[in-house]
Amino acid sequence: MKIFLDSADIGEINALFDTGFIDGVTTNPSLIAKSGRDILDTIAEICGLVEGPVSAEVTATDFDTMLTEGRKLAAIAPNVTVKVPLTRDGLMTCRALTDAGTDVNVTLCFTAGQALLAAKAGAKFISPFVGRLDDIGQDGMGLIEEICSIYANYDFDTEVLVASVRSTSHVVDAALMGADVVTLPPKILTALYKHPLTDSGLDAFLKDWQATGQSIL
């Protein structure tokens, strides 16, 4: 399963990309606004840091303007994936960009039916928002299971990109269900490799090692 970083903060991306397990980056208008930077400059800089897909989202809501914005974003770098919302016009934009050879991430997916339409429109990625479904008492990970099953039934090439991840359990469940990608905020990515028993075990090993008076170097 691929791991994307959900961030538009260049400092965060730099720090975590050096770990070697970041396969791509996702951004959205809210993250760009939080960064306080120009969207085109930010996406260009991220693309220079990351070899994998970098999702850059359109902000228009009508087909013609979305398509124009999508083409402009795609021209920034070869690894830009244009992100569009799961609306009628968004799906039309997805088809037009896909037919022109541009990868598209269809976002704000909340039902399996929506995911089916995105695959039919040729999306490279579908982004179901599991945390937001959990927030309203629905089963976010149940949606991932449904989408993975439907895509497997028909051999769709669209990759399931689990978004709105709120916990490490979401990550593990996504992997068990066969999701292709998870996109994680930095705090969830960091939490994946942290555990109190790891810390206490390491402390015990180091204490015993220091008592030997030895040095490997």
CA distance 128 to 4: 14
Contact (CB, 8 A) for 186 and 5: yes
CA 61 to chain centre: 22
Contact (CB, 8 A) for 37 and 13: no
CA distance 166 to 185: 9
Strands 159-162 and 125-128, sheet pairing: parallel
124 given a catalytic annotation: no
Torsion region of 36: left, alpha or beta (phi above 0 gives left; psi -120 to 50 gives alpha): left
Catalytic residue among 2, 72, 83, 120: 83
Annotated catalytic sites, by residue? 83
